[in-house]
Amino acid sequence: MSHFEGRSGERYDRRAGRLNRTLFRKICREVAAVAPRDGAVLDAGTGSGHLLLELARIRPDLRLTGVDLSADMIGIGLRHVRGAGLENRVSLDVADVAELPYPDGRFDVVVSTLSMHHWDRVDRAVAEFARVLRPGAPLRIYDFRFTSSRKLAEAVRERFPGRPLRRTPVRALLPFAVFAGYAV
């Protein structure tokens, strides 16, 4: 069961839309810079899709897909997508990041924001990201700076051999709100 069902999902959506706006914009600029023209982007752990809506705004050429374990969050996200008139460019699916329902090599970029600390199996999630990414495509994971990256580093070494995991701080709206960005 997800932490974001029912009213807690609605509350999270309202907070995420306001508090994470600066973070999402920074991440969108980074993803937009590495995504190829007319590329396909997967947002793993999309929540209610705020990151995808911002990406759709700044890169209208991209095909955007989001997954989240919470059916309620996906429902909220679908309302946002319909409200923005983006049904033909943004799709949202209920799915576990450790069992993605997509074919091999489908995406040109995989991004995940503030989701990794919820994953029970970081290794399985990274294995799935490696599977659904086209060869050599970028993976970007952003989470709270205090989230352990040891399991992530081990999984990246195994699934992305020869590609280093770079960790960089990502500053957001408040001085204490520093997040870690992981790039493969």
CATH code: domain of residue 95: 3.40.50.150
User: What sign does the CA torsion over 98, 122, 158, 92 have?
Assistant: positive
Torsion of CA 38, 119, 127, 96, to 10 degrees: -60
Q: What pTM does this model have?
A: 0.88
Q: What is the extent of the structural domain holding 145?
A: 7-183
Residue 114 counted as domain residue: yes
For the chain, what is the domain count? 1
Residue 73 counted as domain residue: yes
CB contact set of 14 (below 8 Å; sequence gap of 6+): none
Residue 22 counted as domain residue: yes
127, 104 contact by CB (below 8 A): no
Residue 2 counted as domain residue: no
Residue 130 counted as domain residue: yes
Residue 155 counted as domain residue: yes
Residue 84 counted as domain residue: yes
Q: What is the model's pLDDT at position 170? A: 77
What is the CA angle 63-110-180, rounded to 5?
130
Backbone angles phi, psi at 142, to 5 degrees: -125, 130
98, 61 contact by CB (below 8 A): no
Could you list the pLDDT tens digit for every one of the 184 residues in the chain?
455 555 565 666 566 655 567 788 889 999 999 999 999 999 999 999 999 999 999 999 999 999 999 999 999 999 999 999 999 999 999 999 999 999 999 999 999 998 898 899 999 999 999 999 999 999 999 987 666 788 988 999 999 999 988 888 776 555 445 577 888 8
4, 47 contact by CB (below 8 A): yes
Bridge partners of residue 40, in order along the sequence: 63
Residue 1 counted as domain residue: no
